[in-house]
Structure 1
Amino acid sequence: MILSRVAPAALAGVVAAFVAGCAGPGADGTADLSAASSAAAPASTAASPSTQNTPGEAGPAAVPPPASPTPKADPRTETAVLSIPAIGLEDLRVVPYEGTTDDWPGTRIQNRGVAASPYGERGGVGPGEVGNYLVTAHRLSAGGPLRDLPALEKGESVFVAAGGSVYEYVITETRQTSFRSERSLAEQRAAVPGHPGERPTKAMITVSTCATPEDDAAGNFWRDDKGNPEHRIDKIGVLREVSRR
Structure 2
Amino acid sequence: MLLPFPSRAVPAVLAGAVTALSAACAPSAAAGPVAPPRTTAAVPAPARAAAPPAGPGVAVRTQVSTLSIPSAGIAGLRVVPYEGTTDDAPGTRIQDLGVAASPYGERGGVGPGQIGNFLVTAHRLSAGGPLHDLPSVDEGDTVLVTAGGTVYTYEIVATRKTSFRSESSLSGQRAAVPGAPGVSPAQAMITISTCATPEDHAEGNFWSDARGNPEHRIDKIGVLRKTAGAPPAG
Structure-1-length-normalised TM-score: 0.70
2:128 match: 143
Q: In structure 2, what is the Cα distance between the partners aligned to 1:79 and 1:122?
A: 19
The answer as to 2:135 corresponding to 1:114 is no
Map 1:55-134 onto structure 2 (within 5 A).
Answer: 72=57, 74-134=59-119
Over the aligned positions, Cα root-mean-square deviation in angstroms equals: 1.0
Q: CA deviation at 1:73?
A: 5.7
Identity of aligned residues (%): 70
1:208 match: 193
Map 1:1-245 onto structure 2 (within 5 A).
Answer: 72=57, 74-245=59-230
Q: Structure 1 209/185 Cα, relative in aligned 2: closer, same or farther at 3 Å? A: same
Q: In structure 2, what is the Cα distance between the partners aligned to 1:200 and 1:75?
A: 20
Of structures 1 and 2, the one scoring higher in RCO (CA 8 A, sep 6+) is 2
Q: In structure 2, what is the Cα distance between the partners aligned to 1:122 and 1:144?
A: 26
Which structure is larger by alpha-carbon Rg, 1 or 2?
A: 1
- Structure 1 residues 15-60: Cα deviation after superposition (integer angstroms, max 9, x where no partner): xxxxxxxxxxxxxxxxxxxxxxxxxxxxxxxxxxxxxxxxxxxxxx
- Stretches (4+) displaced over 6 A: none
Q: In structure 1, what is the Cα distance between the partners aligned to 2:180 and 2:58?
A: 29
Q: CA deviation at 1:72?
A: 3.8
Q: How many residues align?
A: 175
Greater helix content: 1
Amino acid at match of 2:128: G
Structure 2 gap ranges (5+) = 1-55
Q: CA deviation at 1:163?
A: 1.1
SS at match of 1:77: coil
Amino acid at match of 1:118: P
Q: CA deviation at 1:122?
A: 1.3
Structure 1 gap ranges (5+) = 1-70
SS at match of 1:86: helix
Counterpart contact for 1:75–1:127, Cα < 8 Å = no
Q: In structure 2, what is the Cα distance between the partners aligned to 1:74 and 1:220?
A: 43
Amino acid at match of 1:166: V
Q: In structure 2, what is the Cα distance between the partners aligned to 1:231 and 1:75?
A: 32
Q: CA deviation at 1:90?
A: 0.5
Structure-2-length-normalised TM-score: 0.74
Q: In structure 2, what is the Cα distance between the partners aligned to 1:73 and 1:103?
A: 27
Q: In structure 2, what is the Cα distance between the partners aligned to 1:75 and 1:183?
A: 30
Q: In structure 1, what is the Cα distance between the partners aligned to 2:107 and 2:180?
A: 14
